[in-house]
Amino acid sequence: MCPDAVDMESAGTPQQEPSSSFRDQILSNKRLTVIGEVALCSGFPTQLSLGLLLQLAGVDAINSRGQLSLFYLVTLSLIDATLILSLVWLLFRVHGESIEATLLGTRPVAREMKLGLLLVPAAFLIIAVVSTVISNFAPLLHNVVENPLEAMIPSPTTAIVFAAVATIAGGLREEVQRAFILHRFEQHLGGAVTGLVVFSIVFGLGHSLQGWDAAIATGLLGVLWGVLYLVRRSVVAPVTCHAVFNMAEVFIAYSGNTAA
């Protein structure tokens, strides 16, 4: 048989489609990979590992006064922020995804920043409503008398340091992290709404050190900033709103400490 005949014969043979079980296995493996990425970028593995390394290096989480150590908190927060931002960048690059398209979208940055500033009062309104409802109907949820983070801001210097950390580790890191996780849920893990619910709960629980009331309020703030990202498809407004809110909270805490 001549080569042309062989080629024509093979060309006429239909290609066998992968079996459904094989496709399901590929999808299952993909989901497991994505779950691993989400877990890695959730902040828990990195913070636990960093906390252990800092302890091994002799950096204690609690100072001689029985309070959280400012040096420990600043070091942990900034290194963790660097790790999370680097991991998000790396995972986008590994999968050939556009960081700019996913995190910045196509809207003008200046307009998104203005929107973020305009929504800062909405963030404070959420805090006020949650605080009022809990104090009237579920006071037991206010289980931390003095917020341990706010107690660490006795001077202008610590207020400035705290504000800088809150901007980088809070506003920037947490919103890039949230956008990445919502993006992954939207693609592979049941949709953006599922991701919004799951990560808002995790986000709130991550702040439970400040009290269950603070955890609930923080979870609802996570919903606000998550919805803002999903609607605008840009992290600029959430980062701006979150960063300014955090800075305002720091200076409110400092004012309260100096007044007391």
Give the residue carrying structure tokens 């940055």.
Answer: 109
Kindly indicate the confidence band of residue 26, based on its pLDDT and cuts at 50, 70 and 90.
low
pLDDT at 5 over 50: no
**Exposed e or buried b per residue across 222-248, where buried means at least 16 C-beta atoms within 10 angstroms of its C-beta:** bbbbbbbbbebebbbbbbbbbbbbbbe
pLDDT for the residue 8? 45
**What are 110-147's pLDDT values in tens digits?**
999 999 999 999 999 999 999 999 999 999 998 887 77
Mean pLDDT confidence for 4-25 = 54
- Count of Cβ atoms closer than 10 Å to residue 107 Cβ: 14
Mean of pLDDT over the chain: 87
Q: Are 168 and 81 in contact (CB under 8 A)?
A: yes
Please provide residue 62's backbone torsions phi and psi, each rounded to the nearest 5 degrees: -110, 130
**What are 184-212's pLDDT values in tens digits?**
999 988 899 999 999 999 999 888 888 89
Is residue 177 classed exposed, middle or buried when 0-12, 13-18 and 19+ CB atoms within 10 A define those classes?
buried
Q: Are 103 and 223 in contact (CB under 8 A)?
A: no
pLDDT for the residue 9? 47
pLDDT for the residue 6? 45
Alpha-carbon separation of residue 50 from 61, 73, 90 (angstroms) = 11, 11, 19
Kindly indicate the confidence band of residue 45, based on its pLDDT and cuts at 50, 70 and 90.
very high
CA atoms 58, 146, 241, 223: torsion sign: positive
pTM: 0.85
CA atoms 114, 118, 124, 125: torsion sign: negative
Maximum C-alpha span of the chain: 97
Q: Are 203 and 149 in contact (CB under 8 A)?
A: no
Which of 26-30, 35-39, 104-108 is the least confident region? Answer: 26-30
